Structure 1
């Protein structure tokens, strides 16, 4: 194993604790947050640990910017700043890739060439929106009266992002919120604060006024809870677990702030016997193992028609055993890195053991891999039934569960028999079946004969306990806007 030599700017960034980014200042705190490299279970660096008082400070800075330079900026200039930030992200994609590889563990080439690049594209898409956010004139029935609407920013937005895609999830939320004219207090996941702090610095460098983007790393129970409950925050956008989403809602009731939630998932992926088998197996494999299974849209429940289940299971097991697993900063371009933390690794391994105890058969992986870091061997489990815990709860790791089925109506009912509704899909050559699936599967995003595609222009979000609100596209602008009706007599 040979590790990459970090970029000089990354080395400098990690050399001393980074302060909170509030306004144009780096704020030191008495307490520090340890940032652990999950590839080695070692301390990578420390950053300032924010709490309720720091959230107060950040909200005040965001409010001052909203009522000051950011609130008076032209739509043209707002779009230009978003475009410049996109350029800066792409120009520094190596740094973003290394930071995500260090605190998240994902392979650096993936973090650089996928996460960072698509983050820049996300900002570019929303850079075109500020000049297109329009009200309308309404032909009302009152004689001699005129009515028109104005679409305005919500105000100060508290954004809480997860650890599975540190840079990309930040872009998903920041870009539309900024395009709509809001100011931001961002609390990144405590495990992965590095790219957020670095991006806040870039934003100032490209010309964003101080206070538009504030970053307060901290724990959810402290900084996150304070942000959700803060009376000066007008909107909270959250991505994370369903359990935490409920606490966000509870915390928001004080001033009835707007909430959008992208929560957990247990996606059903259905492989019919008429599918293009090579394409379906490859797609279904990466539907789960992409990002090491640490994705709310992972195709974790793979329903396979009984007539082809043995053939599919054998090929998936072979593919899982062939995956390369290693540290995020290894010079070898591994397929997968570690899971995010020791508690997460133990959780994943406990799920595997629970499946075994109920009679499920592990045909690949099933154990910790190596003796350092938080690596779980890519795992395929067959003979899974709907009532098993591993088929009901979100594992959030490299564990693919295989279930078999016989009948289309039966499998659609089983696919929908879940508390979640973030994503679902299937593989078939039957066009009529495609349309039936699109009608009957209950999820916010459906993938048919593909998996995992997203685009900044296409809405994304969940049903049921997977949350509400839609990120990306025109719907994301609506999440961060409010409409005012004006009457003239």
Structure 2
């Protein structure tokens, strides 16, 4: 049974379609797949299940559109991006409602994500005008040497369910600004947000084929993206395990590939830190999106001399978080995305308790039995042999452990295959600099729990991937550098 909460302007939940070459495909041979509201476990929509044929059609459309889109001036492309940005702001509450309905993000947080997503369109509209070439001093008086930058061509974006609109604009923004066209494959848990965004693309007047969105069979869509020689570059956000498989797939045609993969972020609170600010930061980092972010705090290291005081302050703040149906305006913690997420979180908590950890707050799904809920949880006396200190949690569980020296905590923080984000709180300038430099992570939040912004590079080290999104660095992978040697 399907349940709808309101009539939407951007999407008809009773008649959802894929977006290919400016057309809405609503009836496919492969049938449909269902989208579930994790707050209620009820089906909210059935989405056409796209596959190889739809993907091939989308890639062909992007290729045709590239011939004219790439020839537009930077100003013309920027104008389109800014129009799309304005439409996102105009429809931000509807986009947030759709997002909350399909993947469980708390409504007010979803509104914030739309605003964040729109900022990438602003930034890359500006960056479109900053794609500079070079003139190189020649070694001969009758030669002139030039470097020009050109769009790579058709690109593909494979986006995750936990940030269904921000991850699209973080990829599409630089791609479109550079002059590329492409296809988006959204996660099956959150295709509706992507398809509502496609309606905004249509409303903006962006030419047909520039942006195409195909949801459905992950294997068929991915195989066509990687096997089709028209696609020149792929950007993927997801798990490290899948990312490794895509590296192998990309090798056959040497496709350009950027990967934003898993994380296991340390959050370090030094003895000289402002404990109120550090606890507030840990709360914001750990419990954003119910802990379902790649950069959220997964391991909280607190100096042994302040651990008890920090824990007391932190737990009091956690107590104030309201959990419930993600569409409720006063809710801060929504459900996890599916049952598998709940099972994983429960298993990590049980493993920790069995090995000696103490639950300071939470530890169950509360009294919310109808959705995929798990209470905001704080564990104390956590040790390195526990699963939660080794595996990404992707849930609202904060493990506390102690350290005694800077050298010890740096070693412990770096003791992971991941390298996406790390956080530290200290009032000591020397410590702030030396520890930041010693941590092997692509993003450092220094007394800052929310470092992500459109104008700064986002990406990881080690098995957290390679390439950068955001900042002026984020447009590089969508451009080829061509060297021209002119003999006079």
Structure 1 and Structure 2 fold alike (TM over 0.5) = yes
Residue 280 (structure 1) aligns with: 278
Counterparts of 1:4-15 in structure 2 under 5 Å? Answer: 6-9=6-9, 13-15=12-14
CA contact (8 A) 1:123 1:175 kept: yes
CA contact (8 A) 2:8 2:94 kept: no
Residue 291 (structure 1) aligns with: 289
Query: Which stretch has the larger CA shift, 52-61 or 299-308?
Result: 52-61
Residue 42 (structure 2) aligns with: 42
CA contact (8 A) 2:99 2:110 kept: yes
When residues 52 and 368 of structure 1 are mapped into structure 2, their CA distance, relative to the original with a 3 A threshold, is same
Provide the rounded CA distance (Å) in 1 between the counterparts of 2:95 and 2:320: 28
Shift of 1:347: 1.5
Shift of 1:5: 5.2
SS at match of 1:184: strand
CA contact (8 A) 1:158 1:236 kept: yes
1:228-270 alpha-carbon deviations (Å, 9 max, x no partner): 3432210000001001101111111221100000000000111
1:408 is aligned to 2:406: yes
Counterparts of 1:15-164 in structure 2 under 5 Å? Answer: 15-16=14-15, 18-27=16-25, 28-30=27-29, 31-67=31-67, 69-112=68-111, 114-164=112-162
Counterparts of 1:223-372 in structure 2 under 5 Å? Answer: 223-330=221-328, 332-369=329-366, 370-372=368-370
Query: Which stretch has the larger CA shift, 310-319 or 460-469?
Result: 310-319
CA contact (8 A) 2:240 2:465 kept: yes
Shift of 1:162: 0.5
CA contact (8 A) 2:276 2:313 kept: no
Provide the rounded CA distance (Å) in 2 between the counterparts of 1:278 and 1:4: 42
1:290-318 alpha-carbon deviations (Å, 9 max, x no partner): 11110100011110000111122223223
CA contact (8 A) 2:152 2:180 kept: yes
When residues 257 and 34 of structure 1 are mapped into structure 2, their CA distance, relative to the original with a 3 A threshold, is same
Segments of structure 2 that go 5 or more residues without pairing to the other structure are: none
When residues 431 and 403 of structure 1 are mapped into structure 2, their CA distance, relative to the original with a 3 A threshold, is same
Q: TM-score, normalised by structure 2?
A: 0.96
Shift of 1:271: 0.2
Provide the rounded CA distance (Å) in 2 between the counterparts of 1:365 and 1:230: 49
Segments of structure 1 that go 5 or more residues without pairing to the other structure are: none
SS at match of 1:121: helix
Residue 198 (structure 2) aligns with: 200
CA contact (8 A) 1:265 1:420 kept: yes
How many residues are treated as equivalent by the alignment?
Answer: 482
Shift of 1:7: 5.0
Q: TM-score, normalised by structure 1?
A: 0.96
1:388-417 alpha-carbon deviations (Å, 9 max, x no partner): 211011010101111100011110111011
CA contact (8 A) 2:378 2:398 kept: yes
CA contact (8 A) 1:231 1:254 kept: no
